């Protein structure tokens, strides 16, 4: 995963307790905290961005094919 705040790349599976030691909530949230800066990254948001990028590429390729 790449942190959206600081750009640090890390493996979220290697984090103990999803990196929640830097979070004051300590509840069952779905955030993954960056070990570098502590920013709470949402894995669902990453999936949405990937979908949007793929969709934009499809649209761009379609426009190229019709021109």
Model confidence over 21-60: pLDDT tens digits?
556 665 667 788 899 998 888 877 766 777 888 888 899 8
Tell me what pLDDT residue 51 has: 81
20 located within any domain: yes
Is 3 part of any domain? no
**Range list of H helices, 1-67:** 43-66
CA distance 27 to 21: 11
* Residue 4 included in any domain: no
**Residue 1 counted as domain residue:** no
- The answer to the question of residue 7 being in a domain is no
The pTM of the whole model exceeds 0.75: no
In a domain, 44, yes or no: yes
Q: What is the pLDDT of residue 52?
A: 80
Is 6 within a domain? no
- Print the domain residue range for 40: 12-66
Domain count, the chain: 1
pLDDT of residue 42: 83
């Amino acid at each position: 995963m790449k942190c959206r705040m600081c750009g640090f790349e890390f493996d979220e599976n290697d984090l103990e307790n999803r990196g929640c030691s830097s979070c004051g909530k300590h509840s069952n949230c779905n955030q993954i905290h960056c070990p570098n800066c502590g920013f709470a990254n949402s894995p669902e948001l990453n999936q949405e961005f990937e979908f949007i990028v793929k969709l934009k590429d499809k649209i761009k390729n379609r426009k190229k094919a019709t021109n």
